[in-house]
Structures are given as C-alpha cells and as structure tokens.
Amino acid sequence: MKELSLNILDITENSVKAGASLTEIFIDESDEKLVLTIIDNGCGMTDEVLKTVTDPFYTTRTTRKVGMGLPLLKMEAEQTGGRLSITSKHVSADADNHGTTVCAEFNKNHIDFTPLGDVVSTITTLIQGHPDTDFFYRHSFDVKEVSLDTRELRAVLDDVPLNTFEVIKWIEDNLKEQYLEA
C-alpha cells in the first residue's frame, strides 16, 4: 500500500472482525528499523488457517474473510529485507487466552521502504469506526513515545461514546500534540 498506516488500518480491521475487545498497535522505531506489532485478543486462528493467511489465493478466492492485507504487508516488509511473522491461538485451544499477533519488521533505510504516512488519521478512523472495542496505541522512537489508550478515555468519559464528534476531535488533537512534542 502507499503508506504503512493504511496497512495498519487493514490488519486491525481483521482483529475487530475476529471479535477482539482489545487491539494493541505498537510501532517501535530506531534509526535503521521500524517494527509494527498488532496484538489482538480476538478468536484467533487454527494452525491450518494460519498457514494460509499469507497466500493471496486463500484469502481472495475462497472466503474473502481476510483480504489481501497480510500478503501485501508481507511483501512490503520483505522488499526492505525485513520479515513478517504471525502467531495465533484459536479460542478452541484456549478459551481464556486467545488472539493473534502480527509483527512486521522493516529496514527503514531500504529504498523500497513504504513510508508510515498519516498514522494519526488511521488511529482516529479506527476508534471512530469501532467505538465499542478498545485500542492501545504506542509509537516509540528511541526514548520518546506517543501513546493512547481508549480504556483510559472510557474510564473518564463514563457513558459518552468514543465516536462522539468532540471525543474524536480531542483524540486527533491529542495525538497531533504528542507528535509535535516528541
């Protein structure tokens, strides 16, 4: 995709569809590397499904459940000399501890590295589209970091939905401000 933030949106959409009540998005950057990790507590995948998720034909032809998201993310990571790993535990294997972790490593200095793009819009769009599930976002570079936890917002807001215009606007401004200060 044109920007990594669009991949984040796409992969996180899978987490929500898998029934995750919490999806964590971590971006860890150094001078050379960018590591994107998305961890959800959704229903997870069985080993058979896990083997097929980076095969574009499993995803596009048979069920359309997952989309081209993972095959594209894998390609984008690998074309910078990085890698994609996916681990998952299906709800049938462990009813109390299930979910999926997607981790993509990129070499930032490779000429084919896809820029991160407008990650503030991505996070805002996610929360707006899924106000009833929780997201934890943390972007760290060296010692600085930007973070947002909808569980904290929810505790303060009581019953005000997260996709109320004022709340979304606050989230957007807060993230932008954190980025300016970082």
Partner 1 sequence: MTVRELCLTEDFKPLALPDGEREIKGVYIGDLLSWVMGRASADDAWITIMSNQNIVAVASLADTACIIVAEDVKLESEITDLALSKGVNILSSDKSIYETAVILSKLL
Contacts with partner 1, residue ranges (CB under 8 A) = 1-2, 6, 56-57, 60-61, 68, 71-72, 75
Instruction: Quote the least distance from Cβ 14 to partner 1, whole Å.
Output: 15
Instruction: Quote the least distance from Cβ 137 to partner 1, whole Å.
Output: 22
Q: Between β-strands 22-29 and 33-40, what pairing exists: parallel, antiparallel or unpaired?
A: antiparallel
Neighbours of 38 (CB within 10 A): 23
Instruction: Quote the least distance from Cβ 15 to partner 1, whole Å.
Output: 19
User: Of 24 and 113, which CB lies nearer to partner 1 in the complex structure?
Assistant: 113
Nearest to 114 by CA among 83, 87, 77, 146: 77
- Tell the residue number behind the tokens 């996610």, with chain if given: 126
- 118/173 Cα distance (integer angstroms): 13
Instruction: Quote the least distance from Cβ 106 to partner 1, whole Å.
Output: 16
User: Of 114 and 150, which CB lies nearer to partner 1 in the complex structure?
Assistant: 114
User: Of 52 and 174, which CB lies nearer to partner 1 in the complex structure?
Assistant: 52
User: Of 42 and 71, which CB lies nearer to partner 1 in the complex structure?
Assistant: 71
- 119/125 Cα distance (integer angstroms): 10
Residue 148 identity: L
User: Of 60 and 87, which CB lies nearer to partner 1 in the complex structure?
Assistant: 60
Nearest to 90 by CA among 63, 51, 58: 51
Instruction: Quote the least distance from Cβ 59 to partner 1, whole Å.
Output: 8
